[in-house]
Chains A and B, each alone.
Chain A
Amino acid sequence: MKRSTRVLLSLMLIIVIYIFVYFSELHMDPFIKRILNTGLIYAILAVSLNLINGFTGQFSLGHAGFMAIGAYTSALLYMSPETKMSNFFMIPLISPLDRIQIPFFWALIIGGLMAAGAGFIVGAPCLRVRGDYLAIVTYGFSEIIRSLFNNLQNITNGPLGLKGLPTYTNLWWTVSWTIVTIIVIKRIVDSSYGRALKAIRDDEVAAENLGINLFKHKVLAFVVGAFFAGVAGGLLGSLLMTIDPNSFSILFTYQIIMIILLGGLGNITGSVVVGIGFAFLMEWLRFVEMPMHIFGIEIPGILGMRMLIFSVLLMLTILFFRQGIFGQREFSWEGVAKLFQKRKVKE
């Protein structure tokens, strides 16, 4: 299939998606819309973490930290001075943050850039520490961020968090950012740079002996991954309308890791599908925590059951689906074409 055909098909798909977004924003049930928004944010997070963990093979546990930076930075920029004033009643917000208000888009970008900066700092030790040690360093970083955000009251409002964030996040925003994330990361991965990243994942020494600068490329993965995590954090903050440091704990990172494992390490399609599916699954699983009536017998809802089922699923994936549900299979227009051809043959 020619490249131009693929680009055209992709463009058409994007238009179809935006038509869907247009009608969804008008008619979709707000509850479903909210879950879909969450799912798309998970997809952004999963695809961006996959760049670091799946494609470059640098096992990072720092994603929640990047998100927190993005969420706080953007929130402090797009919130109105009045809302800020009502939030920071204990210790006032430092100047000039207390007076600044900028458009949502630019707030997200700056949030992403701040996270990318953190990505650089976290990625730098990559040259010295590897494997599980790197996992520990990134975990440590994520905890340092959480601890700092709990204490820097004149910037973050401490453990009280920020409340009454304006809800800018809607499907237009989440869908657009998901598309941008997928395109950018897909293009990186398919380029010469992506080949270098995958080479580092497969064999660092061999990669280095082909002239690949390990430091530059590992940091590249961290910076790009962290940028999109930061943006996702910003989107999530505005969707949930409230953020506090402890919601960005290691548990959040675990959830994203679960998504990329289920979707298949180094599989973008898997990350997106499982990311969206995960949001719906978690919502749907809420029913297990509600009282149920089966054959006239009332079974009381059990608190925490949802997370227990989730963790059992996680363990089953780790133990039995090491390749994830999608394995190495990626979405491609060639694949779609083949599917149609097969059908025709059957007919």
Chain B
Amino acid sequence: MGWSLFMQHLVNAISLGFVFGLVAVGYALVYGVVKLVNFAHGDVFMMAAYFMFYASVLFGFPWLAAVIFGVVMTALLGVGIEKVAYRPLRKYPRINSLVSSIGMSFLLQNFAVVVFGGIQRSFPVPEMMRKTIILGEVRIQAVSIYTIVFSILMVLLLTFILQKTKIGLAMRILSTDFDTARLMGINVDNTISFTFALGSALAAVSAVFYALRYPQIFPFMGQYPGSRAFIAAVVGGIGSIKGALIGGFLLGMLTVLLPAAFPEYSGYREALIFALLVIVLVFKPNGLFGQEAGEKA
């Protein structure tokens, strides 16, 4: 692999890593606060793409307005899912919510098939995103650069919310202890709703960049990035934001660079990535960057 080709792959990997990373942050936020592996997160991501598609194509929203509309709708969807599918089960064993999230994932996919149709649709890509930037011998897609820049902005925004705002503080307290949070007068329900809104909005933003990169949208499009991000979140240490981002990078690198380096084994990429997941969980259950949790009482 030549240097220029390597650079192209690298930029590609970094931007894909950010996409996975932002979706993974959604898993991490939700897991951190309510200790739920939200299997429906990838499908929320898919719904985001459809919201934007319909806003733009059917209702003729300008592109940016369609994106904002999509982000807001997705955030609302996330809040709604939590209210309907997870909140009533909060007092039951955690496994109930887990099954509920699996069911929700199933429901969203099938809903999309029936309502949006099973065929692929073309996501609108604005002209400025279609460009290819040429630096010497290195050819980089404009989308990759936009993805990286906007993702960094999103991470900064997220850090600001978590560290400097009241609701961010509430989320952090909730993630350590529900009872303490209640004693401190934190509105648990609202904080959880906000967590879902935030996680879903991040999924929506990454859905934009994902759809710009692969502009065919379909009801099962959330599965692949969803499972990638999910693995990223687990490998990074589920519940840890930093871990999710680093995990996302790792997955982005593996996804792009592995087949580029060893084209003959590219078929085994999936098996390898899932094996990584299993190995990390078995030998380092708290992930590479997760906090050590107390073992059995």
The residues of A with any CB-CB pair to B shorter than 8 Å are 59, 125, 128-129, 131-133, 135-137, 140-141, 143-144, 146-148, 150-151, 204-205, 251, 254, 257-258, 261, 302-305, 307-308, 310-312, 314-315, 318-319, 322
Contact = CB atoms under 8 A, between A and B. Distances in A.
Nearest to A316: B103
Report whether over half of chain B's contact residues are helix, strand or loop; otherwise say mixed. helix
Nearest to B116: A304
A318 B95 contact: no
B143 to A, nearest CB: 28
B98 A135 contact: yes
B168 interface: no
B185 interface: no
B268 interface: yes
B281 A133 contact: yes
Interface string B260-285: 00000001101100110110011101
Interface in B84-143: 84-85, 88-89, 92, 94-96, 98-100, 102-104, 106-107, 109-111, 113-114, 117-118
A148 B271 contact: yes
Given A302-B114, A314-B106, A147 B271 contact: yes
Interface in B144-197: none
A257 B102 contact: yes
Interface of B: 36-37, 84-85, 88-89, 92, 94-96, 98-100, 102-104, 106-107, 109-111, 113-114, 117-118, 227, 234, 267-268, 270-271, 274-275, 277-278, 281-283, 285, 296-297
Contacts of A150: 267, 270
A128 B282 contact: yes
B274 A147 contact: yes
B38 to A, nearest CB: 11
A133 to B, nearest CB: 6
Contacts of A318: 85, 89, 96, 99-100, 103
Contacts of B113: 303-304, 307-308
Given A129-B281, A254-B103, A311-B109, 8 more contacts: A131-B95, A132-B98, A136-B277, A140-B277, A144-B271, A307-B110, A315-B85, A318-B85
A288 to B, nearest CB: 10
B110 A308 contact: yes
A314 B100 CA distance: 9
Contact of B114 (A129, A137, A146, A305): A305
B114 A308 contact: yes
A135 B37 CA distance: 10
A341 B244 CA distance: 62
A90 to B, nearest CB: 13
Contacts of A322: 92, 96
A140 B96 contact: no
Contacts of A128: 282-283, 285
A304 B114 contact: yes
A205 B281 contact: no
Nearest to A288: B114
A135 B39 CA distance: 11
A303 B277 contact: no
Nearest to B92: A322
B267 A132 contact: no
7 smallest beta-carbon distances between A and B, as pairs: A304-B113, A147-B270, A147-B271, A311-B107, A151-B267, A308-B110, A307-B110
Contact of A311 (B95, B106, B267, B277): B106
A54 to B, nearest CB: 11
A319 to B, nearest CB: 6
A37 to B, nearest CB: 25
A198 B275 CA distance: 30
Nearest to B278: A140
Contacts of B100: 315, 318-319
A129 B285 contact: yes
A137 B234 CA distance: 11
A244 to B, nearest CB: 15
A69 to B, nearest CB: 14
B285 A311 contact: no
B98 A59 contact: yes
